[in-house]
Structure formats: structure tokens, C-alpha cells
């Protein structure tokens, strides 16, 4: 099965591995699985049909919070944000540029009536993996929430927010134009000109070398890059991380606040999220942004939130899932911030 594209790969034996298999290889694959004693469920006989339906629902002409938007529409929205509302002020800045010359945007959001300062900051990034469309969609809803919703008053009272909705613009565009399941960025390999892209979440300079859930093969979908921080996108996120306050780490606070967030999510509509170490809940991986942020950038609380789906639709997730996913995570973030304030008296 080495030649099949793995959509999702988990190391834990009880987790699900999803494969996208060419139609002419389905029968032989089923035989191999049966021979190996591996149970399987055929989720769809036509993945392309699901992709086509999803693409038809993309909002290409008007930016919408309840639709997947093209990069150009996201860009227009982000560039319209500068200024102050009744709750918060915001400024959109460019923190980098991709190999295909697309800007990487970050939105700074702070309390109206105050100035950007060295107040405690929460950095949020989305879209590091191109095919995970739900990630930018949720982050964009979060920006709108911070700017316009009275329920966000406490969030901007306690912190200033730096938000990167689409860290991987080139890959995101490529998933709209060419390959819906593309994961990496689009930089051409200098080793093999037929290979494109680096997995940005394997390109950070923390335990980059052990090759856990990563590859040194430029054609692999988890290619770590030729060196740490070889990619403009990972450099942009690194530099944003290094702007943050440097605070002492505390695992108990991390765990407690994560559990407060998952409890709030469950209380919303009984959607169950788990809290714990990423290497245990998901899989161990080298060169990740979350580990770098915690270990090197000295960010006190470093979280990874895995959004819907949970193995039924994979990355081809209906736009109808955007608002429910956003709303449950909104409640989780509010609870998380409340916990952080209580634990650390971070109000400045």
C-alpha cells in the first residue's frame, strides 16, 4: 500500500487510517486487507463526487462565514478589517510571503481604547495543512467574533490576539484549483524537480531530526524539508511566536485549562473532544509548530485543537459543518481563557 495516498494516518492501533484508493485497485486492496485480518469500512465509492459537491459550495464571489472561501476572498476580507469597532480594534499585517508571492496575513486584535502593547498575547494560527479547509473557516469566524460580538468582551479585556487564518496560502489555493487533498506548501524541491512541497508542521527546529511521522523524501506528503525552517511559511510563524511574552511553563495548568475547554465544548451540544498530550491523543511527530512554540519560543500554553471530522468525511467536510464546529470551539476558547486568567492572574 506504499503507493496509495494516505488521507489520515494514526500510530495508535485503535485509531482509524483512511486511504484514498484508485477505483481499479479497490478489489485487490480489499483482498489484501482481508488477508491481513484488517477490518475496514468503505466510506464512499466515489470520493471525487464528494469533492465536486464541496467545490460547488465554495463561495467564490462573496465572502461568507458559513462557506469555504477562496484565498482571494479571504484576502479581501482581511484587508477590510483595519480600524476600531465598539468592542475591539484590529490591524491586518503581512508577516511573510510564499514562494508563489502570496502574502501571509496576521490580524492583530486588541481592546478598543487601549494601545497594542506588551500585554499577554494569544497567538492563533490556522491552515498550516492546505487540505484542512475547516481550519481557516473556524479561525475566520473567530476573528469576526472578537471584533463584533459582545460575548468576546472578556477575551479582549484580558489579552491581545494575533491571528493567522491561512498560514499556507499556496497550498490552500492548490486545493481549490488542482488537488483537493494536497497537504504541503508548493515549493519545488531542489533535490527532485518532480516533487513539490514541504509539510510545514514538520519543518520547525525542535526535534526535527528523529523523523517521527515525517519523511526525508521530497515526494512524501509528510516531507520535513531539507533543513529546519527551510520554508517561508514556517519562518513567518516562528517569528510571530517569538514576539510573544516569555513565561514559565506549567503542565498542570495546561492540562486543567484544556479540560475546562473540552468540558465547555461538550456542554454546548454534547460534542466530545479529548484533552491530553498531542503525542498520546494523536501521534508523535517531529518538527511541529506546537512543540517548537512550547520548548523554544517559551510560549507558556501551547495547544493544538483538532477540529471535525472524526473519520467519516475526512477533509472533505461539508460547509454545513463550519458553524457547528466554530460554535463548539467558541465555547471552548472562552472557557480556556477564563481558566488561564484564573490560573495566572494575567490581566494587564
Q: What residues are labeled active site? A: 306
Strand partners, 162: 108, 123
Report d(CA 14, CA 39) in Å as an integer. Answer: 11
Q: What residue ranges in 159-199 does DSSP mark as E strands?
A: 160-164
Residues 6+ apart with CB under 8 A from 227: none
Q: Which residues of 282-312 are buried (b: 16+ CB within 10 A; e: fewer)?
A: beebbbbbbbbbbeebbbbbbbebebbeeee
Examine residue 309 and say whether the peptide bond preceding it is cis (omega within 30 degrees of 0).
Answer: yes
Element (H, E) at 96: strand 88-97
Report d(CA 223, CA 242) in Å as an integer. Answer: 25
Element (H, E) at 125: strand 121-125
The conformation of residue 151, written as its DSSP 8-state character, comes to G
211 neighbors 222 (Cβ within 8 angstroms): no
Report d(CA 215, CA 209) in Å as an integer. Answer: 10
Amino acid at each position: 500500500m506504499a503507493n496509495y495516498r494516505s488521507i489520515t494516518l494514526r500510530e495508535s492501533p485503535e485509531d482509524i487510517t483512511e486511504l484514498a484508493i484508485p477505483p481499479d485497485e479497490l478489489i485487490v486492496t480489499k483482498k489484501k486487507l482481508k488477508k491481513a485480518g484488517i477490518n475496514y469500512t468503505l466510506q464512499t465509492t466515489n470520493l471525487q463526487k464528494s469533492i465536486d459537491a464541496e467545490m460547488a459550495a465554495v463561495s467564490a464571489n462573496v465572502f461568507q462565514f458559513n462557506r469555504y472561501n477562496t484565498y482571494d476572498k479571504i484576502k479581501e476580507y482581511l484587508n477590510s478589517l483595519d480600524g476600531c469597532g465598539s468592542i475591539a480594534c484590529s490591524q491586518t499585517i503581512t508577516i511573510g510571503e510564499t514562494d508563489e508571492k502570496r502574502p501571509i496575513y496576521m490580524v492583530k486584535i486588541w481592546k478598543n481604547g487601549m494601545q497594542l502593547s506588551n500585554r499577554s498575547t494569544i497567538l492563533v494560527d490556522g491552515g498550516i495543512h492546505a487540505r484542512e479547509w475547516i481550519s481557516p473557516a473556524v479561525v475566520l469566524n473567530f476573528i469576526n467574533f472578537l471584533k463584533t460580538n459582545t460575548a468576546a468582551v472578556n477575551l479582549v479585556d484580558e489579552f491581545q490576539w494575533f491571528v493567522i487564518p491561512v498560514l499556507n496560502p499556496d497550498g490552500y489555493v492548490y486545493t481549490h484549483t488542482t488537488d483537493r487533498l494536497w497537504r504541503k506548501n508548493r515549493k519545488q524541491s531542489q533535490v527532485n524537480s518532480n516533487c513539490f512541497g514541504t509539510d510545514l508542521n514538520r519543518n520547525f527546529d525542535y526535534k526535527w531530526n528523529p523523523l517521527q511521522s515525517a519523511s526525508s523524501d521530497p515526494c512524501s506528503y509528510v516531507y520535513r524539508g531539507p533543513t529546519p525552517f527551510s520554508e517561508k511559511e514556517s519562518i513567518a510563524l516562528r517569528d510571530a511566536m517569538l514576539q510573544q511574552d516569555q513565561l514559565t511553563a506549567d503542565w498542570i495548568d495546561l492540562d486543567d485549562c484544556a479540560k475546562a475547554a473540552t468540558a465547555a465544548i461538550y456542554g454546548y451540544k454534547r460534542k466530545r473532544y479529548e484533552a491530553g498530550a498531542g503525542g498520546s491523543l494523536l501521534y508523535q511527530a517531529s518538527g511541529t509548530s506546537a512543540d517548537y512554540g512550547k520548548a523554544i519560543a517559551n510560549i507558556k500554553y501551547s495547544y493544538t485543537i483538532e477540529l471535525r471530522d472524526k473519520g467519516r468525511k475526512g477533509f472533505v467536510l461539508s460547509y454545513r459543518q463550519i458553524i457547528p464546529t466554530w460554535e463548539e470551539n467558541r465555547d471552548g476558547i472562552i472557557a480556556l481563557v477564563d481558566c488561564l486568567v484564573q490560573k495566572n492572574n494575567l490581566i494587564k
